[in-house]
Amino acid sequence: MNTNEQTSENATHFGFETVAASEKAGRVREVFDAVAPKYDLMNDLMSGGVHRLWKDAMADWLAPQATWSIIDVAGGTGDIAFRLLDRMIGDKGTDTLTGSVTVCDINQAMLEHGRDRALDKGKLNGLDWAVGNAESLPFPDMHFDAYTIAFGLRNVTDIPAALAEARRVLKPGGRLLCLEFSTVVLPVLDKLYDTYSFSILPRLGQMVSGEGDAYRYLAESIRRFPAQDALVDLMTDAALGRVSYRNLAGGIAAIHSGWRL
């Protein structure tokens, strides 16, 4: 099932529901306010822990340097930022770190959860936290060496606008990496995945977090998201170059890469 058709200028999709474009950001914020306390646990349960391998693969592909300034958008819980920071430091120690990772999220509750996790992990240096909308980032032009977004692009109201903002804040030669659920490319697996997404996932979300509707929305938002080649086209339209992608788990997820040339 793939229902990622375009909506009108003043309307967009919220899962399978059509809503006014002006309403989506607020409704997405409500979803993540509701699931923030159990978000990481649910990620483990939903994916059997495989999401950790996908995030590792994203960080490894970026191979960030200790001098880089990176923005991780929609990364409130810090999962990607922590991985990037660990790779920036490597085995050389924090004294070699001159760069930083800025975690930017539209949802204050997610950021608070991420800051708490950072403190628990003893990650006190090299991290900044900012509330911001992916479609209108509160940072100057050509500010970052790299831009990452994991499982967040499908939740923005205007994907082309978010991609244009990503390019705007990247330095020339800077790179964007997007990890997102995508379109399954293996026969049979697609049917099994649909059954899991729409029958099991909302029930699991209800049992663990008491938010079955939130996880029903998340499943629907995955099906609305552009397929792999369609996202390549959107990134190219946003003037990103050398766009490519890697499928993960038969296309359940994919990592897209693009550069500001």
Amino acid 251: pLDDT: 93
Token pair belonging to 190: 């697609």
Rounded CA gap, 11 and 151, in Å?
22
Amino acid 205: pLDDT: 66
Amino acid 253: pLDDT: 92
Amino acid 95: pLDDT: 79
Stated pTM of the model: 0.84
Amino acid 14: pLDDT: 63
pLDDT tens for the chain, 261 residues long, are: 444 444 456 777 666 667 687 777 777 777 666 666 666 766 676 677 899 999 999 999 999 999 999 999 999 889 999 999 999 998 777 778 999 999 999 988 889 989 999 999 999 899 999 999 999 999 999 999 999 999 999 989 899 999 999 999 999 999 999 999 899 998 888 888 787 777 777 777 677 666 566 667 777 888 889 999 999 999 999 999 999 999 999 999 999 999 999
Amino acid 46: pLDDT: 66
SS (H, E, C) the chain: CCCCCCCCCCEEEECCEEEEHHHHHHHHHHHHHHHHHHHHHHHHHHHCCHHHHHHHHHHHHHCCCCCCEEEEECCCCCHHHHHHHHHHHCCCCHHHCCCEEEEEECCHHHHHHHHHHHHHCCCCCCEEEEECECCECCCCCCCEEEEEEECCHHHCCCHHHHHHHHHHHEEEEEEEEEEEECCCCCCCHHHHHHHHHHHHHHHHHHHHHCCHHHHHHHHHHHHHCCCHHHHHHHHHHCCCEEEEEEEEHHHCEEEEEEECC
Amino acid 209: pLDDT: 62
Amino acid 1: pLDDT: 45
Amino acid 71: pLDDT: 98
Whether the CA torsion 40, 257, 180, 7 is positive or negative: it is: positive
Homologous superfamily (CATH) for 11-259? Vaccinia Virus protein VP39 (3.40.50.150)
Amino acid 37: pLDDT: 66
Amino acid 19: pLDDT: 66
Decide: 103 and 128 in contact? Cβ < 8 Å: yes
* One-letter amino acid of 206: Q
Q: What residue ranges do the domains of the chain occupy?
A: 11-259
